[in-house]
A and B are shown apart, each in its own frame.
Chain A
């Protein structure tokens, strides 16, 4: 349009018009050049899918749903528990492919727990299509994220799962009341991540999926369902009547972290 105008203007001796038309042309060119080249649409079909992980919080055997502010009796120690807080981190999800190699999720940090419902569901983004015969994850947060400064989302300190006095994430926080406990309360904050100081209370948990292979395809809506039997955190070796408060990475914290690992088992896959 501008080019035509310049041409016509020059022919008719309207130099001023030609000048403005020329400048307008430059202007248009500069605006267009600012635009990024449009992204080539991705022609590749998807190779991965967001999957759901649901944690069904239960108590004892035969199990009952674990909810907050309700009385439960421990199946083996008969001690009473009433939870006000049950929160923990599950991170670093990995899935074993049928060739035996593991696929590691690049970023999976999930603050999990009992809220209004005993069931807690979260998403693992972009799990590659395939069949998996085992899953493993870290209970707690890996050491790298413990020393990397201010984090956001589930790792934000305002979630109340980060120690201020000795930087690091609390792997599990269990609080509430018990008639057997000193002063009738219990408060367990297990934390610490340094192997060097023997203060690492994070624990790996592996769960076999070989009986019920977990398949992620373009067609299905995969869901991995796990049980978390919180009663497993206590037993004859860890009585709330003997220890009702842990806020460190002591030997007691290590023992309880080991027991807490036993809480997780497979409910099923969809």
Chain B
């Protein structure tokens, strides 16, 4: 009888083995899921299906200091989970040899919705967004060909790449696909504000006041559920521009001093603020928009008239901004250091 059951079981296994294994079978819990209140993403992983092994490989690469020239710096050195993947408290981050970067390390979340990357939008695709930081002389300072050879020599990575992509080999595309599986799944959509939008939470009176003021004065640029319209604007920080901003990419004088409008999701966690990290807290940011906007030829038209907000109104806006903090995201263990 036992033998019979075994035999039937064998049969069943053989029959089922006809079914091809699909990515869904391997990683149901790690699929890229668009939050119900979000718009369609720019990047949908159609050419790079998310798998458990691909995500875990990307996670390892993200946290691995072997990605830097001096084995001292990883992506996570300047993109820390607890700060929504920004660099806690640092106006400018430090790369290999303690060198300071050019601009403030931005938070990383909802990247699959970004049409472009970096403060000036110079990087046009999520898959290659890590390339700039890895090769920048004052960030990870790695020649990418040297990096690939370094990874190829590490047995652990030989195995992980094979597991993630089904055959041996480490190359540019696989590296970037794995990295994107990790960074593209960094979705922040479960703040108190999200709960409010979905009808599952209510905001306090001060938060509601702040929300109304925010929508009146800030939401033209920090628009929609993603809290940015992804445009490039001069928000009146300076009259002279040591950093040309968007003009560096477009060569267009009209783009001088313009930078990407950042998402304000998790903004309470991503201090300091602005492309050069000049403001250390949200009070300073609000004060800038009320009292400090500098005129120049490329100043955004929206800011030519000052935003009148008294101190209690500013406090209300900040209390609203605090509802954008997503601790479910920043405490999600699947994004933590695997080493």
Say if A and B assemble together. yes
* Cβ contact within 8 Å between B10 and A27: yes
Which candidate, A53-61, A157-165, A203-211, A220-228, is the interface stretch facing chain B? A157-165
Which candidate, B57-65, B125-133, B261-269, B289-297, is the interface stretch facing chain A? B125-133
* Cβ contact within 8 Å between B172 and A158: yes
Q: Beyond A151-B172, A167-B122, A167-B123, is A197–B8 a contact (Cβ under 8 Å)? A: no
Question: Once the chains are docked, how many angstroms separate the CA of A212 from the CA of B46?
Answer: 46
* Cβ contact within 8 Å between B14 and A147: no
* Cβ contact within 8 Å between B251 and A249: yes
Whether a CB of chain A sits under 8 angstroms from the CB of B303 is no
Q: Which residue on chain A has the smallest CB distance to residue B129?
A: A167
Which residues on the A side are within 8 Å of B4 (C-beta)? Answer: 19
* Cβ contact within 8 Å between B128 and A158: no
B residues 4-52 with Cβ under 8 Å of A?
Answer: 4, 7-8, 10-11, 14-15, 17-18, 47
Which residues on the B side are within 8 Å of A167 (C-beta)? Answer: 122-125, 128
* Cβ contact within 8 Å between B128 and A157: yes
Which residues on the B side are within 8 Å of A165 (C-beta)? Answer: 118, 122-123, 132, 136, 248
Please name the 9 residue pairs, one residue from A and one from B, whose CB atoms are nearest each other, closest first: A149-B127, A150-B176, A156-B172, A164-B132, A158-B145, A150-B127, A149-B125, A167-B124, A152-B173
Residue among B10, B171, B172 with most chain A CB within 10 A? B172
Looking at chain A, what size class is its interface with the partner chain? 20 to 34
Which residues on the A side are within 8 Å of B249 (C-beta)? Answer: 166, 197
Whether a CB of chain B sits under 8 angstroms from the CB of A20 is yes
- What are 27 A-B residue pairs whose CB atoms fall within 8 Å in the complex? A23-B11, A31-B14, A34-B14, A34-B18, A148-B125, A149-B47, A149-B125, A149-B128, A149-B180, A150-B176, A150-B180, A158-B144, A158-B145, A158-B148, A158-B171, A159-B145, A162-B128, A164-B135, A165-B136, A165-B248, A166-B122, A166-B248, A167-B123, A168-B124, A197-B250, A199-B250, A248-B251
Question: Once the chains are docked, how many angstroms separate the CA of A166 from the CA of B47?
Answer: 23
* Cβ contact within 8 Å between B136 and A164: yes
Q: Beyond A20-B7, A158-B145, A248-B251, is A151–B173 a contact (Cβ under 8 Å)? A: yes
* Cβ contact within 8 Å between B14 and A23: no
A residues 1-36 with Cβ under 8 Å of B?
Answer: 19-20, 23, 26-27, 30-31, 33-34
Q: Which residue on chain B has the smallest CB distance to residue A156?
A: B172
Looking at chain B, what size class is its interface with the partner chain? 35 or more
Q: Which residue on chain B has the smallest CB distance to residue A150?
A: B176
Whether a CB of chain A sits under 8 angstroms from the CB of B320 is no
Question: Once the chains are docked, how many angstroms separate the CA of A167 from the CA of B17?
Answer: 44
Which residues on the A side are within 8 Å of B10 (C-beta)? Answer: 27
Question: Once the chains are docked, how many angstroms separate the CA of A23 from the CA of B7?
Answer: 8
Which residues on the B side are within 8 Å of A19 (C-beta)? Answer: 4
Please tell me which one of the listed residues B11, B47, B172, B173 contacts residue A27 in the complex, with CB atoms under 8 A apart. Answer: B11
Which residues on the B side are within 8 Å of A265 (C-beta)? Answer: none
B285: shortest Cβ distance to chain A, in Å?
Answer: 27
B residues 121-177 with Cβ under 8 Å of A?
Answer: 122-128, 131-132, 134-136, 143-145, 147-148, 171-173, 175-177
* Cβ contact within 8 Å between B8 and A150: no
Q: Which residue on chain B has the smallest CB distance to residue A23?
A: B7
* Cβ contact within 8 Å between A197 and B251: yes
Q: Beyond A167-B122, A197-B251, is A150–B128 a contact (Cβ under 8 Å)? A: yes
Question: Once the chains are docked, how many angstroms separate the CA of A118 from the CA of B28?
Answer: 53
Question: Once the chains are docked, how many angstroms separate the CA of A167 from the CA of B177?
Answer: 17
* Cβ contact within 8 Å between B173 and A150: yes
B82: shortest Cβ distance to chain A, in Å?
Answer: 27
Q: Beyond A150-B127, A152-B171, A157-B172, is A26–B11 a contact (Cβ under 8 Å)? A: yes
Whether a CB of chain A sits under 8 angstroms from the CB of B252 is yes
SS class, residues of chain B in contact with chain A: helix
Interface string of A163-175 (1 = CB under 8 A from B): 0111110000000
A residues 232-260 with Cβ under 8 Å of B?
Answer: 248-250
Which residues on the A side are within 8 Å of B136 (C-beta)? Answer: 164-165
Whether a CB of chain B sits under 8 angstroms from the CB of A187 is no
Whether a CB of chain B sits under 8 angstroms from the CB of A76 is no
Which residues on the B side are within 8 Å of A30 (C-beta)? Answer: 11, 14-15, 18
Which residues on the B side are within 8 Å of A31 (C-beta)? Answer: 14
Whether a CB of chain B sits under 8 angstroms from the CB of A146 is yes
A214: shortest Cβ distance to chain B, in Å?
Answer: 34
Which residues on the A side are within 8 Å of B18 (C-beta)? Answer: 30, 33-34
Question: Once the chains are docked, how many angstroms separate the CA of A167 from the CA of B147?
Answer: 19
Q: Beyond A19-B4, A27-B11, A199-B251, is A164–B126 a contact (Cβ under 8 Å)? A: no
* Cβ contact within 8 Å between A157 and B251: no
Which residues on the A side are within 8 Å of B126 (C-beta)? Answer: 149
Whether a CB of chain B sits under 8 angstroms from the CB of A63 is no
Which residues on the A side are within 8 Å of B252 (C-beta)? Answer: 197
Question: Once the chains are docked, how many angstroms separate the CA of A164 from the CA of B14?
Answer: 49
Whether a CB of chain B sits under 8 angstroms from the CB of A198 is yes
B45: shortest Cβ distance to chain A, in Å?
Answer: 11
Question: Once the chains are docked, how many angstroms separate the CA of A164 from the CA of B11?
Answer: 54
Question: Once the chains are docked, how many angstroms separate the CA of A10 from the CA of B11?
Answer: 22
Residue among B47, B128, B175 with most chain A CB within 10 A? B128
Further contacts, 4 of them, CB under 8 A, given A19-B4, A27-B11, A165-B248: A151-B172, A152-B172, A162-B128, A250-B251
